[in-house]
Structure 1
Amino acid sequence: MATWGDLVAYVRASYDVIRDEDDELRVRISYDDRRAQVVVIAREVLDRKEEWVQIATPFARIDQVDLQEVLAEIGNTIVVGGAALMGEHLVLRHSLPLVNLDINEFVDPLELVTGSAELLEEQFTGRDDY
């Protein structure tokens, strides 16, 4: 898989796509405990030449949590991805170059980032908003 189009085709066939735009897909991943997590899969272009895919999923609003406590938890437990502020939301995100991307190099981080965000959301907000 080396192009955005290839990745989009794979995601459409494999996941519950709830929004589909040219450079962005939103996917709902459901869990056995009836919780779900929405993840944004977006095409990014680095230096106007290299295509990357960014996986980002919100897990809390900044005003809902103690930021220092959340960042400490992420630092101690998260293997893939990092925390970022996007507007009023805290997200976990991870980026990968598309060139020569193998499917497991996408699926594994997607599952890790999304699952980790789901756990953080439950731990820090007690809700299932995203």
Structure 2
Amino acid sequence: MTTWTDVINYVRTRYEVLEENESWLRFRLDTEGTRTQQVAVHHVPDADGRAWLEISSAVGRADAVDQRRLLELAGTALIGGAAVSGGVALLKHTVPLEDLSVLEEFERPLKLLVASADAFEHELTNADDF
């Protein structure tokens, strides 16, 4: 069974970690060309005590993004849903930590979510702020 410590170590060895604490970490991935994308992974227990990973990646400042278009784009994504948190529009996806038998099962949804968030950021803001 995969643990939160396993996830932290996996991310540290593969990506540039920007911030972290005991329940989340924020790091950067390279995307297409010279673009990069920030992503956060939160360790979130549910009411039954099971552990989940919430993967999120910013699309842009909520007040600067066409939110209707963001929802339309999110509807075409294989994984993830649109949300606003702290004034930032983002895509997020949650997976149960105990279901990750190998950490490569974390990598696939991570890469899919980040690719979508970066493409949406490019379309909606024509920038690379996140």
TM-score after normalising by structure 2: 0.93
Q: Does 1:90 align with 2:89?
A: yes
User: C-alpha distance in 2, partners of 1:8/1:119?
Assistant: 26
Counterpart of 2:96, as a letter, is: P
Q: What amino acid is aligned across from residue 71 of structure 1 in structure 2?
A: L
Identity %: 35
CA displacement at 1:90 relative to structure 2: 0.7
Which is worse superposed, 99-108 or 78-87?
Answer: 99-108
Which shows bigger deviation, 100-109 or 53-62?
Answer: 100-109
Shift in Å at residue 48 of structure 1?
5.3
In the other structure, the counterpart of 2:72 is: 72
Instruction: Find the aligned partners of 1:111 and 1:60 in 2 and give their Cα distance.
Output: 18
CA deviation digits over 1:91-130, x for unaligned, max 9? Answer: 1001111113132321000001111100000000001100
**Residues of 1 paired with 2:31 and 2:40: CA distance?**
17
Structure 1: runs of 5+ lacking an equivalent? none
RMSD between aligned alpha carbons? 1.3
User: 1:14-49 deviations in whole A, cap 9, x for unaligned?
Assistant: 211111211111110013411110000110010151
1:120 aligned onto 2:120:
yes
